[in-house]
């Protein structure tokens, strides 16, 4: 089962960030104190910092509220999936009223989701 596609296409100047998760080991003369380990096959997580001017605020807000932190597909070019992401915080700023919905600033961070599809 594939995740639903967010009704948003990628924009110029949005930044992608990569965050690796390393295995950390603390040792003393007596041996290992602690060890952290990535439980992920791919331990480098991507995240997109999204900043855009949109006209589909109601549709996008409804989609993100209904997902409630669950994964979705993000198509950066409108057709090819860039992967599965989740979004737990987003903001809208009203720019200009143009019937019916107006023009809005949208900002969010999409973090890559490593959970297998269910």
Sequential pLDDT tens for the chain (118 residues): 589 999 987 776 777 787 776 666 666 777 656 655 555 455 678 888 898 888 889 999 999 999 998 999 988 777 777 789 999 899 999 887 666 667 889 999 999 887 655 4
Residue 49 has a CB neighbour count (10 Å cut-off) of 13
- Whether 117 is in a domain gets the answer no
Q: Does residue 1 lie in a domain region? A: no
Longest dimension (CA), the chain: 71
Give the pLDDT score at 82: 77
pLDDT at residue number 25: 65
Asked if the structure places residue 89 within a domain, the reply is yes
Q: What pLDDT is attached to residue 118?
A: 44
In a domain, 4, yes or no: no
| Dist CA 78 CA 53 (whole Å) | 16
Per-residue model confidence (pLDDT) at position 22: 64
Q: How far is the C-alpha of 20 from the C-alpha of 60, rounded, in Å?
A: 29
What pLDDT does 52 receive?
A: 87
Confirm whether 3 is domain-assigned.
no
| Percentage helix, strand, coil for the chain under 3-state DSSP, each rounded to 5 | 10, 50, 40
Task: State how far the Cα of 105 lies from the Cα of 57, in Å rounded to an integer.
Answer: 9
- The model's pTM is 0.71
Residue 24 lies in a domain: yes
How distant, in Å, are the alpha carbons of 27, 28, 100 from that of 19? 24, 28, 40
Number of domains in the chain: 1
Residue 98 structural domain:
9-112
- 2 within domain boundaries: no
């Amino acid at each position: 089962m594939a995740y639903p596609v967010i009704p948003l296409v990628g924009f110029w100047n949005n930044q992608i960030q990569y965050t690796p998760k390393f295995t950390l080991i603390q040792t003393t003369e007596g041996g290992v104190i602690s060890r952290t380990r990535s439980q992920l096959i791919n331990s480098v997580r991507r995240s997109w910092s999204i900043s855009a001017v949109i006209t589909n605020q109601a549709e996008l807000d409804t989609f993100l509220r209904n997902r409630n932190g669950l994964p979705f597909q993000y198509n950066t070019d409108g057709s090819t999936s860039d992967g599965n992401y989740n979004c737990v915080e987003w903001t809208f700023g009203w720019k200009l009223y143009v019937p019916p919905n107006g023009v809005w600033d949208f900002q969010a961070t999409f973090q890559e989701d490593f959970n297998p599809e269910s």
